[in-house]
Amino acid sequence: MNQQADGLSRRAMLARTGLAAAALTAARVLGDAAPAQAAAQAAWRVPGEEAAHKRTWMSWPHSSTIWGNLLSKIQADIAKLAKEVARYEPVTMCANGSANAAKARTMCGSTVTVISSVPVSDCWIRDAGPLFRVDGAGNRDAFGLNFNAWGENATRFYGIPASAYDNDRTLARNLAASLGLPFARAAVVGEGGGIEYDGDGTLIATESCWINSNRNPGKTRAQIEAELLSRFGASKLIWVPGVTGQDVTDGHIDGTARYIGPGVVMVQLAGAVRPDVWTRNAQAIRDTLANATDARGRRLQVLTIEGPDTLPRIPSGQRGDFLSSYMNWTVTNQAVITVQFGDTAKDAAAKTAIANAFGRPVVQLNLDNLYGNGGGGAHCVTMQEPQP
């Protein structure tokens, strides 16, 4: 039985598995990746997530090889989130084949569109799906970040066969093709959850995800930075440290720091339930951003909230591995959807702070299975498609 079936978090500590922290060399060659030309692509950009959406994309988890006996609980949380997002903008769910599509339709209801024409492996469409760009003239295209199951950490952490994620390795290309959009593979490997973008020229990324031999062996920070800037249509990347080897993502930025809009970011300082390594990392990210300027020369305005101090619904032995992040929200056209953890005071404070920052209503859901057993959140399982 894989470790997910035993109930360990997707982001569980390497020490829990007894495996070394040494990174694997990326095994898959980027056959059609070519360095992007910044001058040629200057008009194209990935809009900030607060910009108008055409729809939200999601993908339906179906694999017992990946999830074991947790599958039905994860499906229930995905369905709950999809129905909530669909109150504010269209949602299209990719399901793997007709049988899985039928189950997704039953659980998600009539407000969610389910398609079976784009094969998927799992629910993490933020990491595996395409990033959509616009050019200001009504055109769109897309690119992919060559998803490789978080540097093949899914195999190292949980013993899940690499082949279990084969559909997600091609999800970005296949979804773009289904929409008839031009598509390109980036010349780097990474995930959408590993980078934040303001749509106005500035990116934020954790070094631990990108400058890592399990994703980009042999590439320098300057090479990775140049490629990301070109693909996103940006001119400045603010690097923050991150944490290597402590979770399957190697410290994605979207659990700690997020853009509210150009010039404004929010950072969650760890609550009492998080291990010290994450507390120190959050403070380091906050300090880096507070001293940074963006592509327009603005000193970033850094807002902070605090994570929960308790997770009353979660057994004490499982709290350290729980993604207790309000930051892993998903933005919709009319509301921001995040979570509540049962810490009444911290839940209320986070809701108020996020609502004030965005000027939009905030919905807090109980997604304990996704954030606990899954180790990811609402942002990890959604991908916005912008209006042209």
Express each pLDDT in 81-124 by its tens digit: 999 999 999 999 999 999 999 999 999 999 999 999 999 999 99
* Residues recognised as catalytic: 380
pLDDT at 14: 31
Q: Are residues 26 and 215 in contact, defined by beta-carbon separation less than 8 angstroms?
A: yes
pTM of the model: 0.90
| Spacing of C-alpha 183 from chain mean position | 20
What DSSP state is assigned to residue 46?
Answer: P
pLDDT at 320: 83
Domain boundaries, the chain: 41-386
Q: Are residues 75 and 96 in contact, defined by beta-carbon separation less than 8 angstroms?
A: no
Residues 49 and 260: their CA atoms lie apart, in Å, by 8
pLDDT at 135: 95
Domain 41-386 has CATH 3.75.10.10: yes
pLDDT at 5: 37
Q: Are residues 48 and 279 in contact, defined by beta-carbon separation less than 8 angstroms?
A: no
How many CA within 13 A on the CB side of residue 40?
A: 3
State which residues of the chain have pLDDT below 70. Answer: 1-42
User: CB under 8 Å, gap of 24 or more: what pairs does 79-84 form?
Assistant: 79/104, 79/107, 79/108, 79/109, 80/365, 80/367, 81/330, 81/337, 81/365, 81/367, 81/370, 81/378, 81/381, 81/382, 82/58, 82/108, 82/112, 83/108, 83/109, 83/111, 83/112, 84/337, 84/363, 84/365
Sheet order of strands, 362-365 included? 330-331, 336-339, 362-365
User: Side chain identity at 68, as an amino acid letter?
Assistant: G
